[in-house]
Chain A
Amino acid sequence: MSSSEVTDQAGRPEQIRAVPVRRPGRWIAAAIVLVIAVALIRSVATNPRFEWSVVGNYLFDARILEGLRVTIELTVIAMAIGIALGIVLAIMRLSPNPLVSGASWLYIWFFRGTPVLVQLLFWYNIAALYPKVALGIPFGPAFVHIDANTAITPFTAAILGLGLNEGAYMAEIVRAGIISVPEGQSDAAQSLGMTRLQTMRRIVLPQAMRVIIPPTGNETISMLKTSSLASVIVVGELLFAVQNIYSVNFKTIQLLIVASIWYLVCTSVLYIGQYYLERYYGRGATRELALTPLQRVRLGLTSIRHGF
């Protein structure tokens, strides 16, 4: 074979156009998946007992939307408490002071070791344990007296239960992020005269974020769904709103579908947020910044226009 056969007129090597390997397994798998999908869609669409019109009627019902608002509020506040608490607990856990790290360990042990539903019920009934809460000097005079029964509304109980529980999980996630940053980074920061706190805040935590964000996104999605447990302590969130309606009209399945649709919408939005957060904190980790889906589509379009 002469070399002229592998190069074109300009002397560049010719593009390889080989016959692809046949993959019969893929065709069989595709056929099976297709059959199952069609059967599923057909049954969902044609089974009259789904009563899709009922689903449609309730999807934007004011009571449902109010429940959705409470669900989102619960998720956001509980996650904010969880993340803030998690950072503090993680830094405490890595402290050289054994008392401080021990306290953090004990907190994580307790709140991870008991079910979140038990904790929710516990906070809901806290007034039985402490009917009055007083703010003041320990063992001394008190300045403010709070009646626990009125202060701990179902909503506050849910926030406390979900947030404090989340803090324990976030602490472990943040700690994993912190110890994933090489020690040389703190050495360098400290040799430049930064204090331990500055090093943590300016150098270690921003780099730890790359490791912290994916599981935190996971936790947020999980929190969105766990917040439905608050319905047990009569917080008017999405599941509670749905239950209220179907306990009257008995359209149980239809309303649960409505709730599922909203949960899916919310988690999808969170997916997108997580993608962009990961991209932001991935700066410097790779040579090229990953393209956003929008940029990828645009690039695809231009390459099609230029005929590849």
Chain B
Amino acid sequence: MGEPMVKAESVHKRFGRLEVLKGISLEVLPGEVMCLLGPSGSGKSTFLRCINHLEKIDAGRLSVDGELVGYRQVGEKLHELRESEVSRKRAEIGMVFQHFNLFTNMTALENVCCAPMRVRRLARGEAQEHGRALLARVGLPDKVDSYPAQLSGGQQQRVAIARALAMDPKLMLFDEPTSALDPELVGDVLQVMRRLALDGMTMIVVTHEMGFAREVADKVVFMDDGVVVEAGEPAEVLGNPRHERTRAFLSKVL
């Protein structure tokens, strides 16, 4: 495989005086699944939000599919992208949130069809047909007309995954997708994600599910305090961590 799907070089991000990312460098190849692990506050979620430009980075370079995120390079200078250009790039990256963030005033099907119709200008019939197929794919063919408030957390998260997939993304970002779920609902969501990985989707997953990371990830990255402490194959990082901080973290969560 040639070009990496995501390439980060010394990415820095600060909120006011708080430096959240202190130089993150990593690569994700097409079709790869990368799990980001680490204690809360280590900058995992912030880094994820930088990838689709929900947050602006302050220093370093971050590119998706060979193109810089949020900027265009002309000669030596960086030019900020216009809003429409940023939106067009975001449309190609799916994102799943810890708290689902389903549109509460819309049914499951409307949630899934909204962006294809408004952003891709798909006809209603076509969008709905595609939407129904996606809801069936995440195991919810009978919840088409349910509002988010009528669904369990696990069902909501699967609708959220279907909503992201409706835009045919080339990259999926998962921000602690199972952290807000009751334990018995976690399995269904992970099952959907596992199948997605098998289908060859490029995925970056921020998670505390060590079993999922061990089984599905091609690469595991352990972050702490805004830096990458350790990266490598799951068996290596999880089974035989070299760094003291990784060992301390794993001993608490495993």
Point out residues on A near B: beta carbons under 8 Å.
182, 184-185, 187-196, 198, 202-203, 206-207, 281, 283-287
A191 CB, min distance to chain B CBs, angstroms: 4
> In the complex, which residues of chain B have a beta carbon less than 8 angstroms from the beta carbon of A188?
95, 97, 101-103, 160, 163
Partner of B148, one of A190, A193, A284: A284
Q: Does B119 contact A (CB under 8 A)?
A: yes
Measured CB to CB, the nearest residue on chain A to B52 is: A191
Q: Evaluate contact between A284 and B163: CB separation under 8 angstroms.
A: no
Q: Evaluate contact between A187 and B115: CB separation under 8 angstroms.
A: no
Partner of B118, one of A182, A194, A284, A287: A194
What mask results when residues 150 to 185 of chain B are scored 1 for a CB within 8 Å of chain A, else 0?
100000000010011001000000000000000000
Closest A-B pairs by Cβ, 9 of them? A193-B91, A192-B115, A188-B101, A184-B101, A284-B147, A191-B95, A193-B119, A284-B105, A193-B90
> In the complex, which residues of chain B have a beta carbon less than 8 angstroms from the beta carbon of A203?
103, 114
> In the complex, which residues of chain B have a beta carbon less than 8 angstroms from the beta carbon of A284?
104-107, 147-149
Measured CB to CB, the nearest residue on chain B to A288 is: B150
Q: Evaluate contact between A193 and B114: CB separation under 8 angstroms.
A: no
Q: Evaluate contact between A193 and B115: CB separation under 8 angstroms.
A: yes
> In the complex, which residues of chain B have a beta carbon less than 8 angstroms from the beta carbon of A194?
87, 115, 118-119
Interface of A is mostly: helix
Measured CB to CB, the nearest residue on chain B to A195 is: B87
> In the complex, which residues of chain A have a beta carbon less than 8 angstroms from the beta carbon of B94?
191
A184 to B114, CA, bound (A): 16
Q: Evaluate contact between B90 and A192: CB separation under 8 angstroms.
A: yes
A185 to B100, CA, bound (A): 9
Measured CB to CB, the nearest residue on chain A to B95 is: A191
A194 to B111, CA, bound (A): 13
> In the complex, which residues of chain B have a beta carbon less than 8 angstroms from the beta carbon of A287?
147, 149-150
Within 8 A of A (CB), among B74-107: 83-84, 87-88, 90-95, 97, 99, 101-107
A192 to B172, CA, bound (A): 11
Q: Evaluate contact between B90 and A191: CB separation under 8 angstroms.
A: yes
Q: Evaluate contact between B84 and A195: CB separation under 8 angstroms.
A: yes
Q: Evaluate contact between A187 and B147: CB separation under 8 angstroms.
A: no
Q: Does B122 contact A (CB under 8 A)?
A: no
Point out residues on B near A: beta carbons under 8 Å.
52, 54, 83-84, 87-88, 90-95, 97, 99, 101-107, 114-115, 118-119, 147-150, 160, 163-164, 167
Q: Evaluate contact between A190 and B167: CB separation under 8 angstroms.
A: no
> In the complex, which residues of chain B have a beta carbon less than 8 angstroms from the beta carbon of A192?
90-91, 114-115, 119, 163-164, 167
23 CB < 8 A contacts A-B: A182-B101, A184-B97, A184-B99, A185-B104, A188-B97, A188-B102, A188-B163, A189-B103, A190-B54, A191-B95, A192-B167, A193-B87, A195-B83, A196-B83, A203-B103, A203-B114, A207-B103, A207-B105, A281-B105, A284-B104, A285-B105, A285-B149, A287-B147
A179 CB, min distance to chain B CBs, angstroms: 16
> In the complex, which residues of chain A have a beta carbon less than 8 angstroms from the beta carbon of B147?
283-284, 287
A196 to B83, CA, bound (A): 8
A279 CB, min distance to chain B CBs, angstroms: 13
> In the complex, which residues of chain B have a beta carbon less than 8 angstroms from the beta carbon of A196?
83
> In the complex, which residues of chain B have a beta carbon less than 8 angstroms from the beta carbon of A198?
118-119
B103 CB, min distance to chain A CBs, angstroms: 6
> In the complex, which residues of chain A have a beta carbon less than 8 angstroms from the beta carbon of B54?
187, 190-191
Measured CB to CB, the nearest residue on chain A to B148 is: A284
Measured CB to CB, the nearest residue on chain A to B90 is: A193
A298 to B197, CA, bound (A): 53
> In the complex, which residues of chain A have a beta carbon less than 8 angstroms from the beta carbon of B149?
284-287
A145 CB, min distance to chain B CBs, angstroms: 40
> In the complex, which residues of chain B have a beta carbon less than 8 angstroms from the beta carbon of A207?
103-105
A187 to B91, CA, bound (A): 12
> In the complex, which residues of chain A have a beta carbon less than 8 angstroms from the beta carbon of B87?
190, 193-195
A203 to B94, CA, bound (A): 18
> In the complex, which residues of chain B have a beta carbon less than 8 angstroms from the beta carbon of A283?
105, 147
Q: Evaluate contact between B105 and A193: CB separation under 8 angstroms.
A: no
A190 to B95, CA, bound (A): 10
A13 to B55, CA, bound (A): 59
> In the complex, which residues of chain A have a beta carbon less than 8 angstroms from the beta carbon of B160?
188
A198 to B114, CA, bound (A): 11
> In the complex, which residues of chain A have a beta carbon less than 8 angstroms from the beta carbon of B93?
191
A51 to B160, CA, bound (A): 67
A193 to B84, CA, bound (A): 9
Measured CB to CB, the nearest residue on chain B to A196 is: B83
Measured CB to CB, the nearest residue on chain B to A206 is: B105
B112 CB, min distance to chain A CBs, angstroms: 10
> In the complex, which residues of chain B have a beta carbon less than 8 angstroms from the beta carbon of A195?
83-84, 87
Measured CB to CB, the nearest residue on chain B to A282 is: B105
A184 CB, min distance to chain B CBs, angstroms: 4
> In the complex, which residues of chain A have a beta carbon less than 8 angstroms from the beta carbon of B52?
191
Measured CB to CB, the nearest residue on chain B to A192 is: B115
B72 CB, min distance to chain A CBs, angstroms: 18
A283 to B106, CA, bound (A): 8
